[in-house]
Amino acid sequence: MADLMRRSLLAGTAGLALQSLGASEVLAQGTPRRGGTLRISVDQAASVIHPLRTRVNPEHMIAELCYSNLTTLTTGMAPLPDLALSWSANADFTEWTFKLRPGVKFSDGSPCTAKDVAATYVAILDPKTASPARAIVSMIKEPVAVDDETVLFRLNTAYADLPATAAVFGTRIIPAAIATGDLARLSRESVGTGPFKLATYEPDRLIVLERNPHYFIPEQPYLDRVEIRVYPDSSAETSALLSGDNDLMAITAQSEFGRLKNVRGVDALQVPSGQFLNINMGCDAKPFNDLRVRKALSLCVDRDALVGFVALDAGKPGDDVPVNSIYRYFKKEPAKKVDIAQAKKLLAEAGYPDGIDLTLIASDNPGTRTQLAVAVREMAKPAGFRITVQTMPHAAYLDQVWKKGSFYIGFYNTQQTVDGVFSLLYTSNAAWNETRWNNAAFDALVAEARHTSDEAKRTEIYGKAQDMMYAETPSIIPLFFDLLAGKRSYVKGYALHPRGHIYRFEKVWLDDGAPKRG
Amino acid sequence: MTLAWLLRRFFTVLYTLLVVSVLVFGLTQILPADAAVTLLGENATPAALAAVRERLGLGDPAWLQYWHWLSALLQGDFGTSMRTSQPVGPAMFTALGRSLLLGGASLVVMLVIAVPLGMWAALRRGKAADLMSSLVSYLGVSFPEFVTATLLLIVVADYFQLLPATGYVPPGEDLADSIRHLILPVVTVSLIMVAHVSRMVRSETIDVLNSDYIRAARLKGLPPRTVLLRHVLRNALLPTVTIVALDVGYLLGGIIVVEEIFAIPGIGRALIVAITSRDLPSIQAGAVIMAATYAVANTLADIAYVLIDRRIRYD
Amino acid sequence: MTDALHRLLRTPQGVLGLGLLAVLVLACLLGRSLAPYSPEAMDFAGRFAPPGARHWFGADQLGRDVLSRLLVGASSTIPLAVAATFSGALVGACVGTLSAYLGGRWDEAITRTIDAVMAIPHLLLALILVSTLGKGSTNAALAIAISVAPSMARVTRSVALSVRQQDYVKAAIARGEGAGWIVLREMLPNVAAPLIIEATIRVAFAVMLFATLSFLGLGAQPPASEWGLMISEARRFMHQAPWILVAPALAIATTAICFNLLGDGLRDALNPRDER
């Protein structure tokens, strides 16, 4: 009975979200029209198109065009049906059942059933596949194909957020024959249930996709073709949108965003996101094992100024808590203010009355890491922090510093859920436990929320967890970035998603104003 | 020019490529962080790293990797990119084609400007025109490509919006647009060489003008135009051929930066991407192809030199 | 030496080059005290301030004074390039002279190998070297030195070949002097003049190569105010604030012009035969 209720509740929210999203967008933008080619520009090469191995946004984009997940996310970050129509869990959230759409076919015409879903998840969980999604879905113990349209996931631990997690990149469903056979094949071609399929692929220049005639929503996609063009130079990419060479710019650099505003026929898109830069401090060794040192540094950081310096005003200040208003269960804390005198005092109490020498490491990708490091260096100077900024190539940073160093700049994208952020970065057993904060009370709160279904109770638990991070500052999170993009006004049905790499191009269409291209 | 001479040149080119490949391979072996790390990025768990290293053949000892690479190369196979899983050879040769288009156009533009400019300056030695041309050449050799390129972008593409800022359009797709996209990169690449070569042409021309046989030709009463075209130009061009051949090395280096700035997917950009992603087969292939281009250009210049030289002797 | 200086001062290039050099040396030595602001002082309200009375060359994305950064940056740009060139030139000169002295098969082998290394474009060699050694000014300078050496070796070899035919070298060989002594004491000093001319012109290239490496993110690192790095950082804002980019660009060009003029001046001053 409880199971049934939960199921209707979850399916209900999904349905509601679908309705609200669909209705508002369609009403605002008229009736979708069939046909045309959409030219999208991206800011880096898509060198990996294997759907289980994509790492960066342009790669996620191509994988989303060619494949489907079990679910996707609304712009409000709630799960929405994709391949799965509905889902339900047992009472303690250790088993989840997904019901698939009937009659779905892969782009090669073969049927897509629960067997393919189970085989895909087995491949993702295999360390040999080296899928980035493995850590994110590691709570799955065993995927089982119950019948053609039903998949059962047995979990290692209680987990209430599986439907949202199933929308993550790297969990695109592929044919079982490929998942258990020649997995490398998908590095060169696409066989998926997505709205498009790969036509030509030149990683550093141009990727062309065409309609998948077998797509499971008959009237979609509206577009005939999608061209993805790679622009390593953000300024050139912006010029190409302004001149009408391209129709949509997936990501706009902050320094270029001003050029899109107040231009006829161009829409500048901006949406707050959970993407943040942080200053990680190793809480397991001197000097950062002392809360007073971490607080002192935190008190030096002028967060409003950093939004200007680092995000060029396209962002929001953060208060050392890794979630913000775009997440469900976010709790607004009072804004942290600069107090140099107090910082000096704390530093002296911690045993550094003459100041402290530190080396802050920043990788060169993205460039905002260095901007933050250089700015914080100056801000912390008056309190007695003598910081040397050391930059290094991203590869060397990942190899030598990341997760190992005790003072460096991190950069993270929006996650699916609050739990996704906490258990990726801040719990003791987090996959990327960089700060080694290792706080048992915090761990307990995160674990408790995983099997709590009551919304009010969950809000309360996550609120407490956020209070702890606000007070103890395992890492300084001074700002969140807004995502920025641009499109020509004749591109309809596109919404910039706070998650960053959810695009939903099957809903996009071109109105009469679009140029006719051969 | 005998067969023996040609054979010798051929073996020199082979030796060059061997030295380059050993050198580059040796250097890439000690690059910090390997392709598996850059490929996996933040998802590099030890298990995943091991799996990817095995897939890429990074576990083998260096000499074995080099041997595999060399023996595959002798069969015309440049290997598979560690970054994109695509074959390296076709990707690199496509990129080389674009670079040659840029480099070739720059070379032609350079010669068309530099040779007349140098000769003109030599004929007007010490006058305003000579000073002007030497001013231009000093400015030319003193702006690094990335500065010239960026300044051109600001003024021509951004402020006046005369030309597209960056990007590459294949000539087969839209010829006019392709040319419009090539103008700024070509100007950037050829500027330094114009400065360099025009100075060389100037000083060679002055030498020739001062030589006895030109004086003799003038004394014979030949019209100045005939003297200039028949004797001066040909003799002054001879050393220029060598200079231009040496400049090809410089040109190839310049192309790296220019392609990066103007977002031209040529071999220079491919190399920068390959180096940052530690894509060893692509670094190897790119470096060897660049060196081969240079060596072949030099050999061609030598042949041209011998040919022109003979014509002069028997004229 | 004073004689050479006199002759250098008689050429227009020499006068102009020495004048510019004086300005650059002044900036390198006194840049920090001449700078009106600290090169790292941020000013939130003054971000992207255009050139004016307050900031002569404007202010950058962090509100830092561009003129001050240029002045302080001189000492992290020019001395390194000069040092890199001359150390590379010295190594190249030793190898080139040795090759000419040894002659025969050794000369052939060394020359062919040098030619082979030269087939890798300078910038590419420097790129790979810096990626291997790690980023940073010192490693960039080392990479420049290494990439300068082969071409200097080639230039030196051709001069040294004619020196080797001179009587005093033949005499030394006849006396039974060691190879090291002959190369270092008899031959090197006599190839010095053309070498210095060549090296001076190469400084201009080294300044540009160093700036290029910094521009590609491999040379000097933030918050340093090395000129190439300044351009690289300013490129993002070239639509908003072109002045942060133009000032260091002109500084690099001026330095390169200075060393090109000096090199040409020296050529005229030290080679009286070559009246061009």
pLDDT digits (tens, 9 = 90+) for A363-403: 888 889 999 999 999 999 999 999 999 888 787 788 888 88
C131:A367 CB<8 A = no
CA nearest to C234 within chain B: B150
Confidence of residue A24 (pLDDT cuts 50, 70, 90): very low
In this structure, the answer to whether residues A194 and A312 fall within a common structural domain is no
CA nearest to B136 within chain C: C257
Positive or negative torsion for Cα B268, B271, B275, B277: positive
A90 neighbors A451 (Cβ within 8 angstroms): no
Using a CB-CB cut-off of 8 Å, the residues of chain A touching B43 are 55, 130-132, 134-135
CA nearest to B262 within chain A: A233
pLDDT of residue B310: 59
Count CA atoms within 13 Å of residue A506 on its CB side.
25
Burial class (CB in 10 A: 0-12, 13-18, 19+), A117: buried
In this structure, the answer to whether residues A182 and A205 fall within a common structural domain is yes
Judge whether A255 is closer than 8 Å to chain C, CB to CB.
Answer: yes
Judge whether A338 is closer than 8 Å to chain C, CB to CB.
Answer: no
pLDDT of residue A23: 39
What CATH code is carried by the domain that includes residue A67?
Answer: 3.40.190.10
Judge whether B269 is closer than 8 Å to chain A, CB to CB.
Answer: yes
In this structure, the answer to whether residues B25 and B69 fall within a common structural domain is yes
Judge whether B277 is closer than 8 Å to chain A, CB to CB.
Answer: yes
- Dihedral, CA of residue A108, residue A114, residue A117 and residue A118, to nearest 10: -130
Residues near A431 by beta carbon (within 8 Å), at least 6 away in sequence? A135, A138, A423, A424
In this structure, the answer to whether residues A173 and A281 fall within a common structural domain is no
What CATH code is carried by the domain that includes residue A329?
Answer: 3.10.105.10
Using a CB-CB cut-off of 8 Å, the residues of chain C touching A367 are 236
Rounded-to-integer distance, Cα A198 and Cα A220, Å: 17
Task: Measure CB to CB from residue A391 to each of C44, C222, C236 and give the nearest one.
Answer: C222
Interface of C with A in 252-271 (CB under 8 A): none
Beta bridge partners of A147: A150
In this structure, the answer to whether residues A353 and A444 fall within a common structural domain is yes
In this structure, the answer to whether residues B208 and B138 fall within a common structural domain is yes
pLDDT above 90: percentage of residues in chain A: 65
Rounded-to-integer distance, Cα A314 and Cα A270, Å: 8
Residue that terminates a domain, selected from B44, B74, B104: B74
Rounded-to-integer distance, Cα B101 and Cα C46, Å: 45
Residue B246, pLDDT > 80, answer no
In this structure, the answer to whether residues A494 and A475 fall within a common structural domain is no
pLDDT of residue B33: 67
Determine the distance in angstroms separating the CA of C32 from the nearest CA of chain A, rounded to an integer: 18
Judge whether C235 is closer than 8 Å to chain B, CB to CB.
Answer: yes
What residues in chain C have per-residue pLDDT under 50?
A: 272-276
Higher pLDDT, A353 or A13: A353
Using a CB-CB cut-off of 8 Å, the residues of chain A touching B42 are 132, 398, 402, 432
Rounded-to-integer distance, Cα A287 and Cα A283, Å: 8
Determine the distance in angstroms separating the CA of C249 from the nearest CA of chain B, rounded to an integer: 6
What CATH code is carried by the domain that includes residue B126?
Answer: 1.10.3720.10
Judge whether C41 is closer than 8 Å to chain A, CB to CB.
Answer: yes
Determine the distance in angstroms separating the CA of B284 from the nearest CA of chain A, rounded to an integer: 18
In a domain, A223, yes or no: yes
> What is the domain count for chain A?
2
Q: How far apart are the first and last CA of chain A?
A: 58
In this structure, the answer to whether residues B170 and B245 fall within a common structural domain is yes
pLDDT of residue B309: 66
C111 neighbors C150 (Cβ within 8 angstroms): no
Judge whether C91 is closer than 8 Å to chain B, CB to CB.
Answer: no
CA nearest to A205 within chain B: B265
- The residue assigned the tokens 């042949």 is B303
In a domain, A436, yes or no: yes
In this structure, the answer to whether residues A221 and A335 fall within a common structural domain is no
> What is the domain count for chain B?
2
In this structure, the answer to whether residues A458 and A504 fall within a common structural domain is no
In this structure, the answer to whether residues B227 and B135 fall within a common structural domain is yes
pLDDT of residue C275: 40
Q: Name the nearest CA neighbour of B97 among B236, B209, B273, B259.
A: B259
Judge whether B181 is closer than 8 Å to chain A, CB to CB.
Answer: no
Determine the distance in angstroms separating the CA of A367 from the nearest CA of chain C, rounded to an integer: 9
> Rounded to a whole number, what is the largest CA-CA distance in chain A?
72
Q: What is the mean pLDDT of residues A144-166?
A: 91
In this structure, the answer to whether residues A457 and A495 fall within a common structural domain is no
Task: Measure CB to CB from residue C62 to each of A375, A390, A391 and give the nearest one.
Answer: A375
pLDDT of residue A15: 41
Task: Measure CB to CB from residue B37 to each of A232, A240, A398 and give the nearest one.
Answer: A398
In a domain, B82, yes or no: no
In this structure, the answer to whether residues A105 and A223 fall within a common structural domain is yes
SS3 A68: coil
pLDDT digits (tens, 9 = 90+) for A36-75: 999 999 988 888 899 998 888 899 999 999 999 999 998 8
Burial class (CB in 10 A: 0-12, 13-18, 19+), B61: exposed
Give the 3-state DSSP-derived string for A82-137, with helices as H, strands as E and coil as C.
CCEEEEEECCCCCEEEEEECCCCECCCCCECCHHHHHHHHHHHHCHHHCCCCCCCC
In this structure, the answer to whether residues B186 and B241 fall within a common structural domain is yes
Rounded-to-integer distance, Cα A151 and Cα A115, Å: 8
Confidence of residue B205 (pLDDT cuts 50, 70, 90): confident
pLDDT of residue A322: 95
- Give me the DSSP letters along A387-447: EEEEEE-HHHHHHHTTTT-SEEEEEE---SSHHHHHHHHTSTT-TT--S----HHHHHHHH
Over the Cα atoms of chain A, what is R_g?
Answer: 23
Using a CB-CB cut-off of 8 Å, the residues of chain A touching C62 are 309, 371, 374-375, 378
In this structure, the answer to whether residues A460 and A499 fall within a common structural domain is no
Residue B73, pLDDT > 70, answer yes
Which chains are adjacent to chain C, needing at least 3 Cβ pairs under 8 Å? Answer: A, B
- Dihedral, CA of residue B147, residue B112, residue B196 and residue B224, to nearest 10: -150
In a domain, A76, yes or no: yes
Highest mean pLDDT, choosing among A29-33, A314-318, C128-132: A314-318
pLDDT of residue B210: 79
Q: Residue A395's domain spans which residues? A: 272-481
Query: In what helix (H) or strand (E) does residue C132 lie, and over which residues does it extend?
Result: helix C122-133
Q: Which two tokens stand for residue A156?
A: 């290692």
Confidence of residue B298 (pLDDT cuts 50, 70, 90): confident
DSSP annotation of A238 reads H
**Which amino acid is located at B307 in the chain?**
L
Number of Cβ within 10 Å of residue A180's Cβ equals: 12
Q: What is the ipTM of this complex?
A: 0.83
| Average pLDDT for chain B | 82
Please give the C-alpha separations between residue A60 and each of A28, A51, C175, C190, in angstroms, as whole numbers.
28, 8, 76, 65
Cis peptide leading into A498, omega within 30 of 0?
A: no
Distance of alpha carbon A258 from its chain centroid, rounded? Answer: 25
pLDDT of residue C235: 84
Q: Which two tokens stand for residue A483?
A: 């995502």
In this structure, the answer to whether residues A35 and A81 fall within a common structural domain is yes
Q: Residue B49's domain spans which residues? A: 3-74
DSSP annotation of A232 reads S
In this structure, the answer to whether residues A223 and A286 fall within a common structural domain is no
Determine the distance in angstroms separating the CA of C64 from the nearest CA of chain A, rounded to an integer: 11
Rounded-to-integer distance, Cα A361 and Cα A383, Å: 20
Cis peptide leading into A287, omega within 30 of 0?
A: yes
A309:C61 CB<8 A = yes
Residue B157, pLDDT > 90, answer no
Judge whether B256 is closer than 8 Å to chain A, CB to CB.
Answer: no
CA nearest to C125 within chain B: B24
CATH numbers and ranges of domains, chain C: 15-35+57-274 (1.10.3720.10)
**What length is written for chain B?**
315
Rounded-to-integer distance, Cα B231 and Cα B235, Å: 6
In this structure, the answer to whether residues B125 and B233 fall within a common structural domain is yes
pLDDT digits (tens, 9 = 90+) for A172-189: 999 999 989 888 889 889
Rounded-to-integer distance, Cα A29 and Cα C128, Å: 52
Residues near A221 by beta carbon (within 8 Å), at least 6 away in sequence? A195, A196, A211, A212, A215, A505, A506, A507, A508
In this structure, the answer to whether residues B160 and B48 fall within a common structural domain is no
In this structure, the answer to whether residues B103 and B141 fall within a common structural domain is yes
pLDDT digits (tens, 9 = 90+) for A475-506: 999 999 999 999 999 999 999 999 888 999 99
In this structure, the answer to whether residues B67 and B114 fall within a common structural domain is no
**Which amino acid is located at A57 in the chain?**
N
Give the 3-state DSSP-derived string for chain B, with helices as H, strands as E and coil as C.
CCHHHHHHHHHHHHHHHHHHHHHHHHHHHCCCCCHHHHHHHHHCCHHHHHHHHHHHCCCCCHHHHHHHHHHHHHCCCCCECCCCCCEHHHHHHHHHHHHHHHHHHHHHHHHHHHHHHHHHHHHCCCCHHHHHHHHHHHHHHHCCHHHHHHHHHHHHHHHCCCCCCCCCCCCCCCHHHHHHHHHHHHHHHHHHHHHHHHHHHHHHHHHHHHCHHHHHHHHCCCCHHHHHHHHHHHHHHHHHHHHHHHHHHHHHHHHHHHHHHHCCCCHHHHHHHHHHCCCHHHHHHHHHHHHHHHHHHHHHHHHHHHHHHHHHHHC
Judge whether B29 is closer than 8 Å to chain A, CB to CB.
Answer: no
| Backbone phi and psi for residue B251, each to the nearest 5 degrees, phi listed first | -60, -45
| Average pLDDT for chain A | 88
In a domain, B181, yes or no: yes
Q: Name the nearest CA neighbour of A450 among A73, A74, A4, A96.
A: A96
Interface of C with A in 66-125 (CB under 8 A): none
In this structure, the answer to whether residues B19 and B130 fall within a common structural domain is no
Number of Cβ within 10 Å of residue B103's Cβ equals: 26
Q: Which two tokens stand for residue B205?
A: 């021309």
In a domain, B80, yes or no: no
Over the Cα atoms of chain B, what is R_g?
Answer: 24
DSSP annotation of C49 reads P
Residue A335, pLDDT > 90, answer yes
C223:A390 CB<8 A = no
Judge whether C196 is closer than 8 Å to chain A, CB to CB.
Answer: no
B27:C212 CB<8 A = no
Beta bridge partners of A40: A228, A248
pLDDT digits (tens, 9 = 90+) for B249-280: 778 888 888 998 888 889 998 998 888 888 88
C135:A309 CB<8 A = no
Q: What is the mean pLDDT of residues A9-35?
A: 52
In a domain, B83, yes or no: no
Name which of B55, B85, B86 to mutate to probe chain A: the one with the most chain A Cβ atoms within 10 A of its Cβ: B85
Higher pLDDT, B150 or A438: A438
Confidence of residue A10 (pLDDT cuts 50, 70, 90): very low
Confidence of residue B1 (pLDDT cuts 50, 70, 90): low
Average the pLDDT over each of B48-57, B77-86, C204-213 and give the range with the smallest value.
Answer: B48-57
In a domain, A242, yes or no: no
Determine the distance in angstroms separating the CA of C150 from the nearest CA of chain B, rounded to an integer: 13
Cis peptide leading into A218, omega within 30 of 0?
A: no
